[in-house]
Chain A
């Protein structure tokens, strides 16, 4: 007696509400788990309810952007090659390769004590550091002893000198801006890949040896800029799935997909909320019943807007049956059929 026939959705089904509830309801329960062991992971990301809100809000930048960079197939199993990509990707600041520094603001000089160990880690030579620093206008860098670089900067005021020195310390010697930390990791099949804290798809995609089809970032807008709206949709759906799975809930993929589609079907990313999907509805009543009631009414009257009363909220407000579910269809009885019904004569 297996019921394999008719598994399709019923036309009229309020799938939007169902999807919203299916994602919102586990949200309320994410609270109640007090004792969860804090696992220590190599890459820090936002998790749980805050991350869901971050995605749904369509924030311009996640709090903890991350990337996964896969090398091209041919070099994926060669550690040295992957390591080369890593070297080009991770942003190394001047301050990261020195042990300490001395500055003489009046003279406009700064002594950088190099940390050979750290330099070795990033495979940097003093020469590259000097050449990088010298690129800054008005700066002059040279070796002054074994592990010391002397930096000279001519400026009018002490403040300007200090500012320049701070800039030099925060300068990227190698790597891509925004990639705070990168690690080479090994996948199950033996190939290597790179995970990063911080994300910059626009530049990483141009690094030689990076597989452009496998590049991953959790920054929705960055994916949108680089790969387009379809990719952004997929990222939204994937990220939501991961968060929900992480918290130990199961939610059908179709609900998550609907949220992602609802956020992107117009061709640009819209947030769920006042400034996005809910705030840009056609119906004046639907918007007014949600938030910023007075603003929506005054604007509507000024521009002479019409509410066509198609949606759910409007019809509830005017007291009409909603056009979803069983309200989508109307029943009609043929007049001649009515005549066939006759009461029993008693």
Chain B
């Protein structure tokens, strides 16, 4: 539900007067409870501050735990203390006002004179020039103009109003002030600040209705209500108080002692010590991480979580509870794939569907439908009835008949989730908008949520134990938005580059390859069953001999009028008027980033494209299922000829490496620009040794054929890469650490198994063995080093890029397209006159401009 309209929120500091007005109780006793465990009046758990125990009544408002929002109390501090978070502000104010007449150290004319200059500096160049107005000659580096003005005042030596020479003010972190080396007590500062006239503060940009500087010196302390700092009763019956309560107890205790000592006329030193202690307690009450202050700890040595800690950071109030909120009507479980679902569907386990609900607003039109649901004793039934007066009643067998009788328009029924409902589906990390899409619910047996594998790509999901979240929109408005804007069929064109984000994968690609390669023919029976499986009950034109070519079968899926042509070195496909005439459909066309799928999207729209894809997927899977595919260790076995060739490659690589080293030693190696000779050697060697893998690839291409299944799946890019194959069968190749060859370890050598200064490739991580043969001990170490390095960089860069993402989103989240297609930010500032220069939606770029 919408919050009531708030026009704006104004921030201000609270005056001591306002604190007293807000307060319902003056707190004086440091013990919150008496011997019986009952809250003491004037203690921190004073019952006037609100209730947290169910069953008790608030002494101020008479409300119960749920209805009473709590009431503030206050502590009167015997001696004033400085608000630690404002210490710096106070310091600047002291510096900018006269010590004797307390006026601003500038005349009004001066301020007006300096203003435009400051503005110029803030918006223009920095650090370069100096302001030269009167005595003000100082470089400007600060960003905030108001603060800037205050800072400049430091330079003034004499008050322009009373001509008094200004003393030197020093701030010693966190809260101690010195004037010409003598300590300034908080009460003295308070007197000073009180005397600064309103008019002068206005010149500094301070709103005196929001803040009078003397309010920054605390004389009364606002105590939050108990429900802000609830105490917990442990199982043992012991009470455990909140960290804030602990801190407030400390403050009260010191405050009491200070009062007693002052009344008893204790020596000034003792009073000052206690005063300082009170300052410390208040400082840590506001922020327990104030620099230069020892951290206040709990009995268990755990640092206390005080006010600033509650707000700050990822787990703080703002980011954890306000920017991100907990929600109801959501579910989370493991996902698995189901090719029988469309990409717009999501399979929901029955257990989840039984617990999630959708409100059914009873009207004259749907009262019969509502009745049917309410009558049901099992699954698609009503869980709760919300009566017209807003009271929620749980439906039980006892009251079902009664509720049925009372059913009337205006009531809201909470109905279990059924097929056809809409739900938002999400996988974390939610890196782009395609990570949350709306799916049509399909209730299924089992315990996992299911989705079509083709739509796993935008979520970046796989099925090795990934979990995903489901949210059921409750309001009709939200449901409509989800249904008409957020379904995969409407989102599948990625806003990143306007290309589709759903493709065939793995087995499907293999299936399409089998289907469309040149020598695939089916007899009538097989062709029928393949096509019937995907709901096509016609046969294509038979070729000679009454058989049906795979290409013809595939063409049944293509939309009429499709023109597509790829003629490359490695792949070829010619589609004319929806008929595959020549070539084989490859991964490049239907796999990730596929050109054929993109083409269908562009020319025929998402509905046709999605239908095409799901038919293609099921056809391919059907074929693979029939044909079968497996790889074995045999596929990685090298023939004698291959082993010979491998030895040859290693030999040439080693020879080339030796050549480079010799060249280096003879000082004939030209250094690359920007590098020393030694670095150049490393770079050249590295490039040369990495070349080995390419040679290995060539060897494989030369010796292996598609009869080798492991080679086949890599070649058609269904699974694995040629590099995987090279590493299993030929050799691992050069290992790298931070983009270089391994170089550290022992003196002049990486491992103690090499001679010092060994220049052979193996000594620096060139691995000549394959996974099939097994690694030599030295190679094993090198490999482990490389693996560790890549693990570390991976985890490091995910952290870095995650932060980049957060920064980008935070900086630009308010930018939106206005009615005239200009881009504006939250304050209405114009960012772009026409979005993207042409006002075109990124998902429609291809429609407008083509490739």
Contact = CB atoms under 8 A, between A and B. Distances in A.
Q: How large is the interface on B (under 10, 10 to 19, 20 to 34, 35 or more residues)?
A: 35 or more
Interface in A1-48: 1-4, 6-28, 30-32, 34-35, 37-38, 40, 42-44
Contacts of B816: 12-16, 323-325, 328
Nearest to A272: B811
A138 B288 CA distance: 59
B432 A22 contact: yes
Interface in B671-706: 672-675, 683-684, 686-687, 690
Contacts of A313: 323, 810, 813-814
A278 B807 contact: yes
A8 B839 CA distance: 5
Given A40-B687, A252-B497, A24 B801 contact: yes
Contacts of A16: 811-816, 823, 825
A6 B844 CA distance: 9
B794 A9 contact: no
Contacts of A2: 603, 847
A15 B496 CA distance: 11
A18 B211 contact: no
A265 interface: yes
B365 A9 contact: no
A15 B817 contact: yes
Interface string A209-252: 00000000000000000000000000000000000000000111
Contacts of A312: 813-814, 826
Contacts of B817: 9-13, 15
Contacts of B604: 1
A17 B690 contact: no
Nearest to B820: A11
A309 interface: yes
A3 B279 CA distance: 71
A261 interface: yes
B805 interface: yes
Contacts of A293: 308, 311-313, 316, 318
Contacts of A255: 496, 842
Interface in B303-323: 308, 311-313, 316, 318-319, 322-323
B146 A44 contact: no
Interface in B99-137: 123-124
Given A11-B817, A24-B805, A302 B6 contact: no
Interface string B75-96: 0000000000110010000000
A344 interface: yes
Given A24-B808, A49-B801, A294-B287, A181 B674 contact: yes
B801 A30 contact: yes
A42 B807 contact: no
Contacts of A297: 11, 311
B322 A31 contact: no
Contacts of B205: 303
B693 to A, nearest CB: 8
B533 to A, nearest CB: 27
B498 A252 contact: yes
Contacts, number: 333
B394 interface: no
A308 interface: yes
B813 A251 contact: no
A258 B840 CA distance: 13
A311 interface: yes
Among B5, B363, B814, B844, max chain A CB count under 10 A is at B814
A3 B499 CA distance: 15
Given A22-B496, A28-B802, A277 B812 contact: yes
Contacts of A300: 11
A48 B762 CA distance: 30
A250 B812 contact: no
Interface in B793-844: 793-794, 797-798, 800-802, 804-805, 807-819, 821, 823, 825-832, 835-837, 839-842, 844
A251 B497 contact: yes
Contacts of B146: 303
A22 B802 contact: no
A307 interface: yes
Contact of B432 (A8, A21, A273): A21
B431 A28 contact: yes
Interface in A101-147: none
A202 to B, nearest CB: 13
Nearest to A295: B85
Interface in B545-604: 603-604
B523 interface: no
A280 B827 CA distance: 12
Contacts of A207: none
A308 B8 contact: yes
A13 B432 CA distance: 14
Contacts of B774: none
Contacts of B316: 293
Nearest 10 interchain pairs by C-beta: A304-B210, A16-B815, A304-B207, A254-B836, A24-B805, A16-B812, A311-B826, A343-B364, A20-B808, A277-B811
Given A28-B429, A277-B811, 14 more contacts: A1-B604, A9-B817, A11-B817, A11-B819, A19-B808, A21-B433, A40-B683, A44-B673, A252-B495, A258-B835, A262-B815, A278-B810, A302-B89, A320-B6
11 contacts: A9-B841, A11-B818, A22-B495, A273-B811, A285-B9, A289-B319, A289-B322, A297-B311, A305-B11, A312-B814, A316-B323
Interface of A: 1-4, 6-28, 30-32, 34-35, 37-38, 40, 42-44, 49, 52-53, 56, 180-181, 183, 197, 250-255, 257-259, 261-262, 265-268, 272-273, 275-278, 280-286, 288-290, 293-294, 297-298, 300-313, 316-321, 323-326, 328, 343-344
